[in-house]
């Protein structure tokens, strides 16, 4: 369109542009191109739809692939907003001030390259991080640090790369009141795992639990991209990078300790428990104790500050299925009672209790009640010691000690079991914890605001099964063979010198029975 317009035409174009942001962007806006310089902005359908959504909805959360021009179309909308409306206050927030300033720069470029007759508001402030127009509207850039924007009413809050901003939940709590007078918000990002503010907001928007409109823009929404383009672009990328940059996949994009594909596989096997029992109905049972099977019961005891939960898993040792589980907040007395009852129900399962903090109190109560199969270990070495052998040994403690030394070992064993498909998980509660069990500064731990109580109990179970139980079984088989050789030789083979030993067959049989009684713990099962 020629810019040599009559006065009446100019007035009509100004009015039309002010009413229709998509028309304004497609007709008059120019954007920088890395190879071609300034070029006219021609929106794709998905970009135009987003602009319409921005005009119709107060709160929008955009889950996007990279290189879709979403930041640029947002900048164009901001330019339209501040140009045609008085006293609009726009704040752009990003992980770094420079990132937010770059978006301000895009707004500035669009405004300065409009036809002169369309520059209906001039710049009164023009610097790197902010602009102000003569009509009272302004655009500011801010990092997530500090108190920027919290003391002033906002017309529009733009949160760029929201999933990559640490502590955004706290920032949102501070900024939300600034939108109370009718202000709008658009949160834009590629995914970065689950559990953060952006993920929860998007998922909540999809289920109608908040006031945000969810917009999902994977790579395929771009009309110029096909499977060949995707194959070429991603040929040197990891599965996680592809999920984050192009597929808009929360689960596969995160830096989880357990590989995202393994988490997806686990979730495909999730099933509702057969029973939900107990005083709080938090004991979930998928399979009752079966004759001929052996079980391992592993518990992680809450610290006692109310921030975490006491948990346990029951493992069927033959198959390494988790057949029962608990997660709740009982008192230590009650939790000991629950563990005792569960252990007895599952064939006097070997009972492993993390002995940190309140765990010692639970262990003492279990021993007082006479539970006969409590896991003990050597101090420092964490070597398994059978309960009967631990009595009177000051170097042995009941329970399992999680320390800086043992924590990486048990987590590594847990990951190995899942990766090799040794461990079978049916619990959605445990699967959900895997989503937020991440690497943080090289340390495996729950994402801020989440817990890993079920994860740790499961990890200890994998470690105990692959160390103490396997080694103990080998030792038992050896002792069984040894004692059987003794009793067999005494029954069937007589190497005595004449007159040396005159016991009857009955006496020898009684002696054999005494051996089996004295070493019944070896012959059990």
> What integer pLDDT is reported at residue 305 of this predicted model?
72
Question: What's the alpha-carbon Rg for the chain, to the nearest Å?
Answer: 34
State whether the Cα torsion 190-247-421-284 is positive or negative: positive
> What integer pLDDT is reported at residue 491 of this predicted model?
44
Top-confidence residue, 248 or 425: 425
Phi, psi dihedral angles at 156 (to 5 degrees) = -150, 130
Contacts of 412 (CB under 8 A, 6+ apart): none
Question: Which of 20-29, 159-168, 333-342, 464-473 shows the lowest per-residue confidence on average (mean pLDDT)?
Answer: 464-473
- HSE value, Cβ hemisphere, 13 Å, CA-based, for 198: 29
Distance CA 158, CA 184 (A): 9
Distance CA 324, CA 329 (A): 17
Give percent above pLDDT 70 in the chain: 86
Strands 295-300, 283-285: pairing is unpaired
Residue 31 pLDDT greater than 80, yes or no: yes
Distance CA 316, CA 525 (A): 15
Task: Report angle CA 354, 356, 360 to the nearest 5 degrees.
Answer: 80
Q: How confident is the model at residue 144 (pLDDT cuts 50, 70, 90)?
A: confident
Residue 505 pLDDT greater than 60, yes or no: no
Contacts of 46 (CB under 8 A, 6+ apart): 68, 217, 221, 222
Top-confidence residue, 283 or 490: 283
> What integer pLDDT is reported at residue 409 of this predicted model?
86
> Of 339, 324, 320, whose CA–CA distance to 286 is shortest?
324
* Cβ atoms within 10 Å of 516's Cβ, excluding its own: 13
DSSP string of 247-283, one letter each residue = I--HHHHS-BSS-HHHHHHHHHT----SEEESTTS-E
The pTM assigned to this predicted structure is 0.61
416-456 per-position pLDDT tens digit = 999 999 999 999 999 999 988 988 777 888 887 789 999 99
| Token couple for 284 | 């979930």
Domains and CATH numbers, the chain: 7-254 (3.40.50.300), 261-469 (3.30.420.240)
* Residue entry with tokens 């099977």: 293
Average pLDDT over residues 259-267: 89
């Amino acid at each position: 369109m020629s810019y040599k317009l009559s006065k009446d035409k100019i007035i009509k174009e100004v009015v039309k542009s002010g009413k229709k942001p998509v028309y304004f962007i497609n007709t008059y806006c120019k954007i920088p191109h890395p190879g071609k310089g300034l070029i006219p902005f021609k929106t794709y359908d998905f970009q135009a739809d987003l602009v319409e959504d921005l005009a119709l909805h107060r709160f929008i959360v955009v889950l996007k692939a990279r290189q879709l021009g979403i930041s640029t179309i947002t900048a164009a909308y901001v330019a339209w907003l501040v140009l045609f409306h008085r006293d609009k206050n726009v704040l752009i927030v990003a992980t770094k001030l420079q990132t937010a300033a770059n978006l301000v720069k895009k707004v500035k470029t669009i405004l300065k390259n409009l036809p002169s007759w369309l520059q209906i508001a001039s710049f009164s402030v023009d610097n790197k991080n902010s602009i102000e127009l003569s009509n009272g509207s302004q655009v500011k850039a801010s990092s997530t640090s500090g108190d920027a924007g919290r003391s002033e009413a906002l017309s529009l809050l733009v949160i760029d790369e929201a999933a990559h901003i640490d502590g955004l939940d706290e920032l949102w709590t501070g900024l939300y009141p600034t939108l109370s007078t009718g202000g709008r918000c658009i949160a834009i990002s590629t995914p970065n795992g689950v559990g953060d503010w952006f993920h929860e907001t998007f998922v909540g928007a999809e289920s109608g639990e908040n006031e945000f409109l969810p917009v999902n823009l994977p790579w395929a929404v771009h009309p110029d991209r096909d499977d060949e383009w995707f194959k070429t672009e991603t040929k040197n990328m990891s599965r996680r990078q592809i999920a984050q940059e192009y597929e808009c996949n929360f689960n596969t994009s995160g830096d989880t300790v357990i590989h995202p594909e393994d988490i997806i596989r686990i979730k495909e096997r999730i099933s509702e428990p057969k029973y939900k029992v107990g005083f709080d109905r938090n004991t979930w049972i998928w399979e009752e104790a079966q004759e001929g099977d052996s079980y391992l019961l592993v518990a992680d005891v809450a610290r006692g500050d109310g921030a975490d939960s006491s948990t346990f898993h029951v493992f069927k040792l033959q198959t390494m299925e988790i057949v029962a589980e608990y997660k709740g907040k009982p008192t230590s007395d009650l939790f000991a009672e629950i563990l005792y009852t569960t252990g007895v129900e599952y064939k006097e399962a070997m009972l492993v209790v993390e002995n940190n903090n309140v765990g010692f109190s639970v262990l003492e109560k279990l021993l007082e009640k006479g539970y006969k199969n409590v896991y003990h270990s050597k101090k420092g070495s964490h070597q398994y010691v059978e309960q009967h052998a631990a009595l009177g040994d000051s170097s042995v403690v009941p329970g399992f000690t999680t320390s800086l030394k043992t924590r990486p070992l048990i987590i590594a064993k847990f990951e190995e079991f899942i990766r090799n498909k040794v461990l079978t998980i049916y619990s959605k509660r445990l699967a959900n914890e895997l989503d937020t069990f991440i690497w943080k500064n090289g340390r495996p731990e729950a994402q801020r605001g989440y817990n890993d109580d079920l994860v740790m109990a499961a990890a200890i179970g994998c470690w105990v099964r692959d160390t103490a139980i396997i080694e103990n079984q080998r030792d038992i088989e050896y002792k069984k063979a040894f004692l059987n050789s003794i009793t067999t030789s005494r029954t069937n083979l007589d190497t005595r010198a004449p007159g040396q030993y005159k016991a009857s067959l009955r006496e020898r049989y009684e002696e054999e029975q005494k051996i089996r009684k004295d070493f019944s713990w070896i012959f059990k099962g």
